[in-house]
Structure 1
Amino acid sequence: MDTTSKTRSLERAIDVLEHLAARGPSALHHLQDETGLSKTTLRRLLETLVRRRLVRRGLSDGAYRCNITLPSPGDKTHQGKIARLIDVATPLLRASNSDIRWPIDLHIYHQGRMQVIESTRTISPFGFNRPHRPELDLNIFAAASGISYLSTLPDERVWKMIETLREQELWALSRYRITPQRLFREIALTREKGFARRLASQSDGGFHAIAAPVRSHRTGIGAVSLWWPQTYLALPVFADRHAEQLKALAAAISRELG
C-alpha cells in the first residue's frame, strides 16, 4: 500500500472513531449512512480497530463503540471509565455466561444513578428477547446494582446522595416510596452477604435481580447484576444457587481493574 492509500485509510479510520465518540453505539448500516463508506471498507476498518482495541463491539446489541477517549464535549472521564470497565469485564462476562447462564448486566455509577453499559442478554439461553438498551439509567436507590454500589460507600456519603437527589423526581429515594430506614437496612444486609437485591422494578417488570459490587483500586465504581423471572424461583432459593458465582465474577473484574 502506497503512502497516499495509507493516509486515506488512516483518515477514514479516524472518521469512524470520531463518529462513534460523538454519536455513541452504532450499527454497521448507521456508520455507512453517516460516513458514506461502503460496508466492505467499514468492515475492514472496524476489524482493525477492534483488533487494536480502539473500538469494541457490544455483546448484547452488536453495535460498535469507541473504546478510547477523543476530544469531545462529553464527559471524557466517565467515557474513559466505561471503556476500561467494558474492556476488562467483557471476557469475564463471556466466560461466566457458560456457567451462570442467566442474563448478567454490567453497571457503572454516574451522577447519582446507575447505568447499564453491557449485558449478556443476547448470548444467554434465558435472555427472554429483551435487548439491552445502551447506557440505560436506573434509580440508584431501587436497583440491586445501586444498593450494591451504595454498600461500598460510608453512610455519610449515602445520606449526602439522598439529600442531593431529593428534588429530582426520577432519581430521588421517594420515587419508589423507599424510606431511609429501609434503604440502610438493605445496605447493611448487602455488606453482610456481599450482594444486594432490587427494591423496585424499573425496566424489567416481573423479574427479580441481585447484584454484587465492582471496585477499582478498592473504590466502588459499579456492579454486576443477575436477573430472572419471579415465577421461576423465589429470591432466597435463587441466591443460594448463584450468589457466590456472581460475587466471584464481581471480584474477578475488580482484580483485573486493579
Structure 2
Amino acid sequence: MPSFAPIRSVERAIDVLMALNRYPVCSLELLYQQTSIPKPTLVRLLETLQHKGLVTHAPQYGAYSLASGVKQLSAGYHGEPRIVEAASALADALTRQIKWPLALAVLDYDAVVVRYSTIPNSPLALLHSTINMRLSLVGRALGRAYLAFCTGEERRALLDILKLSANEEDTIAHDRKAVLATLRKIRQQGYALREPGIRPVSRTLAVPVMEGRRVVASLGMTWIASAVSDEQAVKRYLEPLQDLSRFIGKRLADL
C-alpha cells in the first residue's frame, strides 16, 4: 500500500498526456470529455506541458497535440528497464513458492551485473542484497548462462576481452579450449552452475533469458550448498526456472 495519497495535479497531467496520446489532435472540449478535468484546470495543465516541450498548441484551430519532447520520456525505457519490468513480478512469485532467492543479470562489458533480485522475498537468502553485483562470465553461473547462449561472434569477442581481465575468477578464460568445452556442455544441458570453489557456502543454477533467438539476460537461483546438492537443485528447480525464463521472454515480446 502507498504511504501517502497520490498527488492529484500529477495524476491529472498524466491523464492529459494519455488522452493526447489517443488522438492526433484534441480540442479542449474533447480533452474535457476524456479526462473530466475542469476546463480552466485543463488550460493551466496544457500551458505547463507546452512550456516543458511536451505539448504543442495551434490557437487558430483550438487544437492541442503531443510535441516531440514526449519522446524523451521513453528514451530510457529499453534494454534493462524493460527486462526488469518483464521479470520482476514473475520472479517474486516463484521465490514465494520455492523460498530460494532469484537474480536477473545482464551483460555489462566483461561481466554480467545483477539488475533484479528477489532477496527481499526470500527467508533463505545469505546476502542482504546483490543488486549491481558484477559476476564473472566464466566463473559464475549467471555469467556462464549468458556466455554459453550468446552468438559465436559475441562469445569470441567476450573471451578475448576476458584475457585482459584482472579478476581472479576470469583466469579460467585463459584456457580457451577448456572454457569452450564447458560452454558446449551448458548449451547441451540447458543450464549453468557456478564453478566449484567459488564462494562454496552457496551454489547457483542459471538459465538464459531469450528474446526470440537472442539472449538478453540470465536468470539464476542461489541456495545454501549444505542444504541441497547440485543434482537435487537441478531435479527440483530447473524446470520452474526454465518455465519462468520462457514466461519472461513472452512478456518481453508483449512489451
The normalised TM-score by structure 2 is: 0.65
Shift of 1:205: 4.8
CA distance in 1, matches of 2:80, 2:170: 25
How many residue pairs align between the two structures? 187
Shift of 1:178: 6.5
1:100-119 correspondence runs (5 A): 100-119=98-117
| Partner SS, residue 79 of structure 2 | helix
Shift of 1:164: 2.1
| Partner SS, residue 151 of structure 1 | helix
Consecutive unaligned residues of structure 2, counting only runs of 5 or more, are: 1-7, 14-70
Shift of 1:173: 3.3
Name the residue aligned to 2:59: none
Q: Select between 177-186 and 140-149 the one with higher mean Cα deviation.
A: 177-186
Amino acid corresponding to residue 121 of structure 2 in structure 1:
I
Residue 194 (1) aligns with residue 181 (2): no
Shift of 1:84: 0.6
| Partner SS, residue 165 of structure 2 | coil
**Once the two structures are aligned, what percentage of the paired residues are identical?**
19
Residue 254 (1) aligns with residue 252 (2): no
| Partner SS, residue 121 of structure 2 | coil
The normalised TM-score by structure 1 is: 0.64
| Partner SS, residue 227 of structure 2 | coil
Residue 131 (1) aligns with residue 132 (2): no
Name the residue aligned to 1:234: 229
CA distance in 2, matches of 1:211, 1:131: 20
Deviation string 1:7-66 (CA, Å, 9 cap, x unpaired) is 8x98xxxxxxxxxxxxxxxxxxxxxxxxxxxxxxxxxxxxxxxxxxxxxxxxxxxxxxxx
| Partner SS, residue 252 of structure 1 | helix
Change (3 A) 1:162 1:177: closer
1:176-187 correspondence runs (5 A): 176=172, 179-187=175-183
| Partner SS, residue 98 of structure 1 | helix
Could you tell me whether the CA contact under 8 Å between 2:202 and 2:224 is conserved in 1?
yes
| Partner SS, residue 80 of structure 1 | coil
Shift of 1:142: 0.9
The 4+ residue runs of structure 1 with deviation greater than 6 A are: none
Could you tell me whether the CA contact under 8 Å between 1:186 and 1:196 is conserved in 2?
no
Amino acid corresponding to residue 93 of structure 2 in structure 1:
A
Amino acid corresponding to residue 241 of structure 1 in structure 2:
R
Shift of 1:251: 1.2
Change (3 A) 1:196 1:178: farther
Residue 168 (1) aligns with residue 165 (2): yes
Shift of 1:211: 0.2
Query: Highest CA radius of gyration, 1 or 2?
Result: 2
CA distance in 1, matches of 2:173, 2:162: 14
Consecutive unaligned residues of structure 1, counting only runs of 5 or more, are: 11-68
Residue 83 (1) aligns with residue 81 (2): yes
Q: Select between 244-253 and 183-192 the one with higher mean Cα deviation.
A: 183-192
CA distance in 1, matches of 2:104, 2:179: 22
CA distance in 1, matches of 2:139, 2:150: 16
Amino acid corresponding to residue 220 of structure 1 in structure 2:
V
Change (3 A) 1:201 1:123: farther
Could you tell me whether the CA contact under 8 Å between 2:145 and 2:208 is conserved in 1?
yes
